[in-house]
């Protein structure tokens, strides 16, 4: 199970919209296995394919390390499409393996409905709320080239900019492997 390097803030592959997965393949299955291994090693709870440099439309989520979510099964969402979002606008702190050492509050809707294909490429749909809805929205944004820090405004944004620049330069202090090649960052 190779551990894949995680691409940092503003890497080109993380700013481009990802492409749909056409069909299941051994390569896809291996990518999913590697993504889970990479995410677990970095103590993450969600990881999008473009965070490991693959511009495809899929992400993995595993909330089971979190208190209260021990029974939550790991999810693979291929070609996901959020079809509806509703409920209260919730303010919650987020972090990201591509944006190490930054935690900021982001406002997002409480609930969503999503269609996707699972690891067997079977069509699925899910209604999610609370923390699961939050993580899904964060990962879904990655597939469209959006970082949670893009939502910051004003003072918060000014405070975080120097840290983001440091991450882009490959100077973030992390205890997992990051792709650290100037060529990956535009």
Residues that bind Zn ion (CB under 5 A): 96
Which residue, 54 or 96, is less far from Zn ion as judged by CB? 96
Q: Considering the complex, what minimum distance in angstroms separates the CB of residue 70 from Zn ion?
A: 22
Q: Considering the complex, what minimum distance in angstroms separates the CB of residue 95 from Zn ion?
A: 8
Query: DSSP string spanning 86-144?
Result: EEEEEEEEEEETTEEEEEEEEEEEEEEEEEEE-TT--EEEEEE-HHHHHHHHHHHHHHT
Nearest of 54, 45, 63, 56 to residue 6 by alpha carbon: 54
Q: How far apart are CA 1 and CA 59, in angstroms?
A: 17
Which residue, 105 or 125, is less far from Zn ion as judged by CB? 105
Which residue, 82 or 121, is less far from Zn ion as judged by CB? 82
Q: Which residue has the tokens 């803030």?
A: 9
Q: Is 144 a catalytic residue?
A: no
Check 130, 139, 171, 173 and give the catalytic one.
Answer: 139
- Nearest to Zn ion by Cβ — which residue? 96
The set of catalytic residues is: 139
């Amino acid at each position: 199970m190779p551990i894949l390097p995680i691409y940092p803030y503003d890497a080109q592959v993380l700013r481009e919209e990802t492409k749909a997965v056409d069909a299941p393949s051994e390569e896809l299955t291996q990518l999913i296995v590697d993504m889970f291994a990479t995410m677990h090693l970095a103590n993450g709870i969600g990881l999008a394919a473009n965070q490991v440099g693959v511009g495809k439309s899929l992400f993995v989520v595993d909330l089971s390390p979190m208190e209260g979510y021990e029974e939550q099964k790991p999810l693979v969402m291929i070609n996901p499409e959020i079809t509806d979002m509703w409920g209260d606008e919730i303010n919650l702190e987020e972090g990201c393996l591509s944006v190490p050492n930054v935690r900021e509050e982001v406002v997002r809707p409480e609930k969503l409905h999503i269609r996707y294909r699972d690891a067997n490429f079977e069509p699925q749909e899910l209604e999610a709320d609370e923390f699961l809805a939050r993580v899904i929205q964060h990962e879904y944004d990655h597939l469209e080239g959006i970082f949670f820090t893009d939502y910051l405004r004003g003072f918060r944004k000014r405070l975080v900019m120097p840290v983001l620049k440091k991450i882009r330069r490959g100077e973030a202090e992390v205890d997992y492997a990051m792709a650290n090649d100037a060529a990956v960052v535009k």
